[in-house]
Amino acid sequence: MGHLENEVRPAAYDRIGVGYRRIRRPDPRLHALIGAALRGARTVVDVGAGAGSYEPEDAEVTAVDPSGVMLDQHPGRRKVRASASRLPFADGAFDAAMAVLTVHHWPDLRQGLAELRRVARRQVVFTWDPAHRPQLWLMEDYLPEIRQLEDGRFTPLAAVVEALDAHTVLPFPVPYDFTDGYQAAYWRRPELYLDPVVRQASSTFATLPPEVVEPAIGRLRADLASGEWHRRYADLLDRESVDYGYRLVIAGERPQG
């Protein structure tokens, strides 16, 4: 899940990816949403596959990722080390192509999305819209550097939709007990951001320097100890889910059923 960039980046994920599967555990609700979008596809290429999260169980899946460490954690038999902008497959080789939280890492987004359209008749892309509000409180009050980084990495949703000529965009509000430890997963469980193992499984935290991250985490730790965080965000404590701008984009052939 989410691991394609330029020649430098695979080495970064060789470091970040150690133990990745322990923190980034696929959530069944997101799995169901993506599975419905892939319904009827017998052959699927997962571009930026990482450890293989959210791949359909009833299809023949080919995993593509530039990181050997990530592919070593992938349980499948069909694994190819390659980049999104140069997929080593024939035109129309797959019923569907999927890409989960990875397009923000691609050095040439339009070329990568064009490759998805070239090799598959259906495209299913899970991404995040940097223009969406509200954003996670962690960005707003503790680490605005995350917002700056993400604004530079993520392409606005409208550009992804346009490049794919997508026909469907589905929201995915993040549940409070979401099991996949990506950045917004712990919006109602702030104490988990204190865990360096949890932070290491996020490319954003792993990209920011310790001199930026550690003071912010120190402020969060103090606010949790004093009760200030719970006072400030009391409105979140009874919420079941929050829409933080995660979207599933579907293009090409429509799902069956």
CA dihedral over 233, 239, 243, 244, signed as positive or negative: positive
Asked if pLDDT for residue 152 goes beyond 80, the answer is yes
Q: What is the mean pLDDT of the chain?
A: 90
List, for residues 112-124, the tens digit of each pLDDT value: 999 999 999 999 9
Q: Averaged over 251-257, what is the pLDDT?
A: 90
Say what the pLDDT of residue 93 is.
98
Q: Band of the pLDDT at 21, cuts 50, 70, 90?
A: low
Q: Band of the pLDDT at 174, cuts 50, 70, 90?
A: very high
Asked if pLDDT for residue 172 goes beyond 80, the answer is yes
Set out the domains of the chain in order of their start, with CATH numbers. Answer: 9-252 (3.40.50.150)
Contact 48, 84 (CB under 8 A): yes
Q: Averaged over 200-220, what is the pLDDT?
A: 90
Asked if pLDDT for residue 190 goes beyond 50, the answer is yes
Asked if pLDDT for residue 10 goes beyond 90, the answer is no
Q: For every residue of the chain, which 3-state class applies, written as one string?
A: CCCCCCCCHHHHHHHHCCCHHHHECCCHHHHHHHHHHCCCCCEEEEECCCCCCCCCCCCEEEEECCCHHHHHCCCCCCEECCCHHHCCCCCCCEEEEEEECCHHHCCCHHHHHHHHHHHEEEEEEEEECCCCCCCCHHHHHHCHHHHHHHHHHCCCHHHHHHHHCCCEEEECCEECCCCECCCCCCCCCHHHHHCHHHHHCCHHHHHCCHHHHHHHHHHHHHHHHHCHHHHHCHHHCCCCEECCCEEEEEEECCCCC
Q: Averaged over 149-171, what is the pLDDT?
A: 94
Say what the pLDDT of residue 8 is.
32
Q: Averaged over 210-221, what is the pLDDT?
A: 97
Say what the pLDDT of residue 23 is.
55
Say what the pLDDT of residue 25 is.
81
Say what the pLDDT of residue 6 is.
35
List, for residues 123-133, the tens digit of each pLDDT value: 999 999 999 99
Asked if pLDDT for residue 50 goes beyond 90, the answer is no
Most confidently modeled range among 17-31, 32-46, 150-164: 32-46
